[in-house]
């Protein structure tokens, strides 16, 4: 019976006859014996296969190099070498050889850039095996958390006709003939001729639709693909990413913050419990990688310690105004080290967020009550404020090394205030009639947020580039594989 390598290493008793199937990571040996290490994706570790040439014809071993896929029948024994167990082969079947000259992944260490260029094969590397197993665990934990908390999982559309979500540039969805597009009498593109009879795009957020569902079902969440056509080539932005968006009736901004903190801690704890070996592997990888870096560029804590630290401390909660005051009093501000100006009203830049999180508080920070002028139309206004310093009940959760991981708010439930704001921001009330209906009929206080799933995976795995935590990254000028 076939067992996976994780089970073999952790559960299967010695002297059992086993069947192992997997890919060769490494081969070494002598005239009488060959040692193959195999991995099958179930663990970051490999199992060593001992091949004695008096049992297995040397012929069979001939073309077997790194990358070959094999079935091995043999006996699990205590190992003489470093590992606790190994398999002595009784028979070997080759499923597929990998030409040693052209197979890109060799046993030596490759750079992440090189592996990214070979993303079609990267599931076979130790690093990406660990990253994708952790990604799976986190996704599973997301569903487990919301299910246990009484949320319903809902799916919001990927193709949308509303462009009022206000979260950046969108990808157009069309079946019009781009060579000869139909035109209106005024010479504009005639979207009446398009597939849906109107202009459509890929969604940038499922929030507005999730609000409709929450105002009936109570507590809902989405977990789906999200698209942004921004030309931002950073280590934290993808053109296609996955977002988790809970939306809750009867939650105010405090409840929203409590939920965000509890939720993120739950999924991190889940990964610590379910992927200890993967995390240890990635921690070691990071330490090796950082050996060559300057002290100040190294992570302040090893990966697992960092994750436990987040679990053991409550997130700092401050208002935007407090954040600005901290920045104004900071060393980098006084020494003019920030590239962007600091003053009340600015959108906090990554350098500001990182100062607050990594230097000042040294832990996750939730900033609330942002200036109204820099936030979306649907956020709830705070009352009684200095003219020119109006704020909304927006919250951003900032993480060390990542910056913004969550953005959310209490929503404006008051019809008059909402429509007034939309009008001021040139958002069509007519087009948004369905959204406004929730405020016209049985409106209710409610809140929600969006968590960028890949940024969470980055934090938990310690991978510095977001392209390395999604199997097939989409970024400007790159849609290979």
Which residues of the shown chain bind ligand ATP in the complex (CB under 6 A)? Answer: 167-168, 228, 237-238, 241, 243, 404-407, 450-452, 454-455
Quickly count: other Cβ atoms within 10 Å of residue 2's Cβ.
Answer: 11
214 binds, among ligand ATP, Mn ion, none (CB under 5 to 8 A by kind): none
Phi-psi region for residue 243, left (φ > 0), alpha (ψ -120 to 50) or beta? Answer: beta
Query: Cβ of residue 224: shortest distance to ligand ATP, in angstroms?
Result: 12
Q: Which residues pair with 298 in a beta bridge?
A: none
CB closer to ligand ATP, 164 vs 405? 405
Task: State in angstroms the smallest separation of the CB of 406 from ligand ATP.
Answer: 5
Give whichever of 237 and 285 is closer to ligand ATP, judged by the CB atom: 237
Nearer to ligand ATP, 237 or 372 (CB): 237
Min separation Cβ 169 and ligand ATP, Å = 10
* Residue 476: CB minimum distance to ligand ATP, A: 11
Nearest residue relative to Mn ion (C-beta): 407
Please say which residue, 22 or 408, places its beta carbon nearer to ligand ATP: 408
Q: How far is the CB of 43 from ligand ATP (least distance, A)?
A: 29
Question: Which of ligand ATP, Mn ion, none does 405 bind, CB closer than 5 to 8 A by kind?
Answer: ligand ATP
CA quadruple 355, 360, 362, 368: dihedral sign: negative
Q: Which does 452 bind (CB under 5 to 8 A by kind): ligand ATP, Mn ion, none?
A: ligand ATP
By beta carbon distance, the residue nearest ligand ATP is: 452
Query: Residue 11: CB partners within 8 Å, gap ≥ 6?
Result: none
454 binds, among Mn ion, ligand ATP, none (CB under 5 to 8 A by kind): ligand ATP
Please identify, using beta-carbon distances, which residue of 67 and 246 lies nearer to ligand ATP: 246
Is the Cβ of residue 52 or residue 232 nearer to ligand ATP in the bound state?
A: 232
Residues of the shown chain interacting with Mn ion in the complex, contacts defined by CB under 5 A: 407
Query: In the complex, what is the shortest distance from the CB of residue 349 to Mn ion, in angstroms, rounded to a whole number?
Result: 13
Residue 228 contacts which entry, Mn ion, ligand ATP, none (Cβ below 5-8 A, type-dependent): ligand ATP
**Which entry of Mn ion, ligand ATP, none binds 406, CB below 5 to 8 A by partner kind?**
ligand ATP
**Rounded least distance, CB 167 to Mn ion, Å:** 8
Taking alpha carbons only, the member of 401, 411, 454, 451 closest to residue 212 is 411
| Closest CB to Mn ion among residues 407, 448 | 407
Based on CB atoms, which residue is closest to ligand ATP, 193 or 404? 404
Instruction: Provide the minimum distance between the beta carbon of 404 and Mn ion in the complex, in angstroms, as a whole number.
Output: 5
Evaluate whether 206 touches 245 at the Cβ level (below 8 Å). yes
Cβ closest to ligand ATP, residue 76 vs residue 394: 394
Judged by beta carbon distances under 5 to 8 A according to partner kind, the member of Mn ion, ligand ATP, none in contact with residue 133 is none
Nearer to ligand ATP, 358 or 404 (CB): 404
Minimum CB separation of residue 245 from ligand ATP in Å reads 8
The site partner of 167 among ligand ATP, Mn ion, none (C-beta below 5 to 8 Å per kind) is: ligand ATP
Minimum CB separation of residue 449 from ligand ATP in Å reads 8
């Amino acid at each position: 019976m076939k067992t996976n390598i994780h089970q073999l290493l952790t559960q299967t008793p010695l002297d059992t006859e086993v069947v192992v199937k997997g890919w060769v990571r490494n081969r070494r040996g002598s005239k009488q014996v060959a040692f193959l290490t195999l991995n099958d994706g179930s663990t970051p570790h490999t199992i060593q296969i001992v091949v004695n040439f008096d049992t297995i014809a040397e012929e069979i071993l001939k073309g077997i190099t790194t990358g070959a896929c094999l079935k091995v029948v043999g006996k699990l024994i205590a190992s003489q070498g470093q590992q606790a167990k190994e398999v002595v082969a009784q028979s070997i079947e080759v499923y597929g050889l990998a030409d040693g000259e052209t197979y890109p992944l060799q046993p030596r260490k490759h750079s992440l850039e090189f592996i990214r260029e070979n993303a079609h094969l990267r599931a076979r590397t130790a690093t990406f095996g660990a990253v994708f197993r952790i990604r799976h665990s986190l996704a599973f934990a997301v569903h487990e958390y919301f299910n246990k908390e009484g949320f319903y999982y809902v799916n919001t559309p990927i193709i949308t006709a509303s462009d009022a979500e206000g979260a950046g540039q969108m990808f157009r969805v069309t079946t019009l003939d781009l060579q000869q597009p139909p035109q209106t009498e005024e010479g504009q593109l005639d979207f009446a001729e398009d597939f849906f009879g109107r202009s459509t795009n890929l969604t940038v957020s499922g929030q507005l639709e999730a609000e409709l569902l929450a105002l009936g079902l109570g507590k809902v969440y989405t977990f789906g693909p999200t698209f942004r056509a921004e030309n931002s080539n950073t280590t934290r932005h993808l053109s296609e990413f996955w977002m988790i968006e809970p939306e809750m009736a009867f939650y105010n901004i405090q409840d929203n913050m409590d939920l965000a903190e509890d939720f993120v801690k739950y999924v991190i704890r889940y990964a610590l419990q379910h992927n200890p070996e993967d995390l240890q592997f990635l921690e070691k990888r990071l330490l090796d990688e950082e050996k060559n870096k300057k002290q100040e560029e190294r992570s302040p804590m090893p990966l697992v310690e960092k994750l436990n630290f987040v679990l053991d401390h409550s997130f700092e909660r401050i208002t935007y105004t407090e954040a600005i005051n901290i920045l104004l009093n900071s060393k980098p501000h006084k020494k003019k080290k920030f590239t962007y100006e600091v003053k009340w009203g600015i959108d906090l830049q990554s350098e500001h967020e990182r100062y607050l999180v990594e230097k000042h508080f040294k832990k996750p920070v939730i900033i609330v009550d942002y200036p109204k002028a820099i936030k979306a139309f649907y956020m709830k206004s705070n009352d009684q404020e200095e003219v020119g310093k109006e704020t909304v009940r927006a919250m951003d959760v900032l993480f060390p090394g990542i910056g913004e991981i969550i953005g959310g708010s209490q929503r404006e439930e008051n019809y008059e205030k909402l429509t007034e704001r939309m009008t001021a921001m040139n958002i069509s009330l007519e087009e948004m009639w369905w959204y406004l209906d929730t405020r016209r009929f049985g409106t209710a206080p409610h809140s929600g947020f969006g968590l960028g799933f890949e940024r969470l995976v980055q934090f938990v795995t310690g991978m510095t580039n977001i392209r390395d935590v999604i199997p097939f990254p989409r970024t400007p000028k790159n849609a290979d594989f």
